[in-house]
Structure 1
Amino acid sequence: MVIKAADMLIARRADTRARADFATWRMMAKLNGASALPPEAQTFLTSYKKLSEKMEDAEASEATIQLMYRSYYAEMGGAGAAPEVPARAREPVTDTGTVTAFRRLPAKPKPGASGLNAKRPLPVALIFVCLVVVYVAIRYYWR
């Protein structure tokens, strides 16, 4: 079966949306805010709870996300069955309990007046003289 590029784009969007929505809804459920979720979210969370009783948490999460993905794929206008989206390679998260401080980048040296390629600013008087020459040339041309 050949998958069109447009369908693959829809599939990636649907997968990303499903993963983000599931994480958000799950966090809201942990914070006792599940009643504020839309009915669709509540049904997905109910199916997640049923699956988590039968299997491990990671497997139940992935199964629920796949269910949401198929639903979103059809909702977004994907043709046919939802294609398999390749999993992204992620680095394992290790919680060391330490916080990495962000470092500022070193300041870029300002270009100084000294140097071979340094441009000298034009004197104001030279600019004024050029403007006067242009003005006189235009006036002379029009006569």
Structure 2
Amino acid sequence: MAAKPSTTIARRARTRAEADFATWLMMAKLGSFDTLPENAQKVLNGYRERLDRMSEIESKAIAVRETYQAYYSDMGGTGDAPEPEPRTLPPNEAQVDNVVRFQKPPKAKPAPVRPADRGARAAPASGRKPIPALLIFAALVAIVVAWKFLTR
């Protein structure tokens, strides 16, 4: 029963650590390093020092892990922070690359028209487009101007 709360704490701490590190890194890249909290500056300095010895991915993983451990203990987790379970994709979402692909939403199908409703509809059922309001307004203005011109 004690394992469930620490799993919940671990998940929240890991999510917060990943989000905070990404925020701190972006703020540092934008020139706001001095405005970051002291713990954030310490984590980012360690991250930068490790970049000379290892890849960016490894250095980031270590920095997030350090932040995660600190958050885990601050949130009330006991002992060492557990390793997070790897995230799995659903079977139908095979990750081929790291590219987001936008999809067009499917076209909405018109509701079926019942014979009794055809006479009650305002739009013509023959498939013609309705006349835009601006066109109607322009025609009315032209009629008024013509009337004024012809009645003088």
Name the CA distance, whole Å, in 2 between partners of 1:67 and 1:37: 17
Output the TM-score relative to the length of structure 2.
0.63
Q: Tell me what 2:138 maps to.
A: none
What's the % identity of the aligned pairs? 38
- By how many angstroms is 1:21 displaced? 1.0
Letter of the 1:107 counterpart:
A
Q: Tell me what 1:18 maps to.
A: 17
Name the CA distance, whole Å, in 2 between partners of 1:25 and 1:89: 27
* Cα separation, partners in 2 of 1:92 and 1:25, compared to 1, 3 Å: farther
Counterpart secondary structure, 1:54: coil
- Contact 1:22 / 1:65 at 8 angstroms: preserved in 2? yes
RMSD: 2.6
- By how many angstroms is 1:101 displaced? 5.0
5+ long unaligned stretches in structure 1: 119-143
Name the CA distance, whole Å, in 1 between partners of 2:38 and 2:2: 32
Letter of the 1:52 counterpart:
L
- Contact 1:7 / 1:78 at 8 angstroms: preserved in 2? yes
Output the TM-score relative to the length of structure 1.
0.66
Name the CA distance, whole Å, in 2 between partners of 1:67 and 1:55: 16
Q: Tell me what 1:8 maps to.
A: 7
* Cα separation, partners in 2 of 1:29 and 1:89, compared to 1, 3 Å: farther
Name the CA distance, whole Å, in 2 between partners of 1:34 and 1:20: 17
State how many pairs are aligned.
112
